[in-house]
């Protein structure tokens, strides 16, 4: 069927653009000479993850165990968790995954490492570990190269854990002194540096220049390589760049200069930032406002007339935020539906 025949609002992915974006990033990293490890939090879809791996990604990256479990159930077998795994339930789930596939985690404290070590020893599994160092994100991560070295030594002494190197986010030139010192300290202490992992879509070259062995990128799947030079404010949205769209129906034409569509904050994103998205069919339409279930389209810049029941296709400013709001994701080529996926990754935040 044509995408306009779908019940709305429907999230639709243009496979031609998706495949171009995935190949583009793989080729970009290959040209730079750095290993790509594709992040999956943007799409939460195992089939897209498999496409990333087939294009050249060295395994995948997940943030939450629920996402990792979904990926393992669907055949992905080399996963880096860039999130502290804390608590009995979570370390048990982590070790269950480690029985099946290669698992690597990041830690930034002895408390996190000891919790994983205790369960891994009990379950007879080995968990790979990267020490995370904070180089500007001000989220997680040890706060100095000396602290990274000390934690690396502690991890290496714990049973059930295999120290594999260092990790940081984002990869920025300003972090070079910190990274250089951390690497030197690890080397002088004979600590493993099999992996030095950087991250951030658009920061691939910085990771290479900083001497990292791999780079984690994810949002390129939905935002394309133009993100590298893009402004990041939605003004560079285009159907050629962004595969994810939302098909909506006009449910009201209350005035000559306003349409109302059946997608608001619960469809696109809570507390979005302007512009809310690009209406593909008509450059004169401006997605000017949202309430919880209503989308407000300003028609004052268009010379076309619209009626109740007409369909429009909107590229959201923040595609990743849309994925987690919908039960189904539709794949299409040339505006024709090819497959409807149950969005198994939705809500996997535990």
Domain boundaries in the chain?
3-11+237-342, 33-218
Is 344 within 8 Å of 71 (Cβ atoms)?
no
Q: What is the pTM of this model?
A: 0.94
Task: Report how far residue 346's alpha carbon sits from residue 340's, in angstroms, rounded to the nearest whole number.
Answer: 15
Q: What is the pLDDT of residue 41?
A: 93
Q: Which residues pair with 337 in a beta bridge?
A: 332
Tokens of 326: 């919908």
> pLDDT-based confidence at 177, cuts 50/70/90?
very high
Is 133 within 8 Å of 141 (Cβ atoms)?
yes
Q: Which residues contact 332 (CB under 8 A, 6 or more apart)?
A: 3, 12, 13, 14, 15, 338
Mean pLDDT of 176-195: 98
Distances (CA, A) of 336 to 3, 223, 267: 6, 22, 22
Give the model confidence (pLDDT) of 214-257 as tens digits: 999 999 999 876 544 444 455 678 899 999 999 999 999 999 99
Sort 225 into a burial class: Cβ within 10 Å, 0-12 / 13-18 / 19+: buried
Angle between helices 88-98 and 65-73 (to 10 degrees): 30
Task: Report how far residue 164's alpha carbon sits from residue 172's, in angstroms, rounded to the nearest whole number.
Answer: 22
* pLDDT surpasses 50 at 169: yes
Mean pLDDT check: name the lowest of 6-10, 20-24, 225-229, 261-265.
225-229
Give the model confidence (pLDDT) of 319-347 as tens digits: 888 988 999 999 999 999 999 999 999 99
Mean pLDDT of 282-294: 94
CATH code for the part of the protein at 3-11+237-342? 2.40.37.20
* pLDDT surpasses 70 at 272: no
Give the model confidence (pLDDT) of 35-60 as tens digits: 999 999 999 999 999 999 999 999 99
- Single out the residue of 132, 138, 248, 145 nearest to residue 195, CA to CA: 132
Q: What is the pLDDT of residue 273?
A: 67
Q: What is the pLDDT of residue 319?
A: 86
Across the chain, what does the average pLDDT equal? 94
Q: What is the pLDDT of residue 269?
A: 81
Mean pLDDT of 144-150: 98
Mean pLDDT check: name the lowest of 7-11, 141-145, 200-204, 275-279.
275-279
* pLDDT surpasses 70 at 264: yes
Task: Report how far residue 35's alpha carbon sits from residue 204's, in angstroms, rounded to the nearest whole number.
Answer: 10
> pLDDT-based confidence at 112, cuts 50/70/90?
very high
Most distant CA atoms of the chain, gap in Å: 72
CATH class of 33-218: alpha beta
């Amino acid at each position: 069927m044509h995408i306009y025949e779908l019940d709305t609002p429907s999230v639709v992915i243009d496979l031609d653009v998706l495949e171009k974006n995935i190949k583009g990033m793989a080729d970009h990293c290959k040209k730079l000479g750095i290993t790509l490890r594709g992040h999956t939090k943007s799409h939460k879809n195992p089939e897209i993850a498999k496409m990333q791996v087939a294009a050249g990604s060295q395994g995948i990256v997940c943030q939450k165990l629920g996402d990792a479990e979904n990926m393992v159930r669907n055949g992905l077998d080399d996963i880096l968790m860039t999130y502290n795994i804390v608590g009995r339930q979570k370390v048990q789930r982590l070790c269950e995954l480690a029985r099946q596939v290669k698992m690597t985690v990041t830690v930034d404290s002895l408390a996190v490492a000891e919790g994983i070590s205790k369960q891994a020893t009990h379950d007879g599994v080995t968990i790979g570990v990267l020490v995370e160092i904070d180089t500007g994100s001000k989220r997680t991560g040890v706060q100095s190269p000396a602290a990274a070295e000390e934690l690396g030594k502690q991890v290496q002494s714990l049973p059930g854990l295999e120290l594999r190197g260092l990790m940081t986010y984002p990869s920025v030139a300003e972090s070079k002194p910190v990274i250089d010192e951390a690497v030197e300290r690890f080397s002088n202490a004979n600590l493993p540096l099999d992996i030095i992992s950087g991250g951030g879509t658009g920061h691939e070259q910085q990771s290479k220049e900083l001497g990292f062995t791999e780079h984690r990128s994810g949002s390129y799947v939905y935002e394309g390589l133009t993100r590298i030079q893009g402004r990041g404010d939605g003004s560079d949205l285009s159907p050629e760049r962004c595969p994810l769209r939302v098909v909506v129906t006009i449910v009201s034409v209350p005035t000559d200069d306003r349409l109302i569509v059946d997608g608001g904050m619960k469809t696109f994103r809570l507390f979005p930032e302007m512009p809310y998205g690009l209406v593909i069919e008509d450059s004169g339409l401006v997605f000017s406002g949202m309430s919880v279930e209503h989308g407000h389209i300003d028609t004052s810049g268009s010379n076309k007339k619209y009626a109740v029941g007409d369909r429009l296709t909107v590229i959201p400013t923040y595609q990743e935020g849309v994925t987690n709001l919908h039960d189904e994701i539709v794949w299409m080529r040339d505006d024709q539906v090819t497959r409807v996926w149950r969005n198994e990754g939705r809500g996997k935040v535990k």
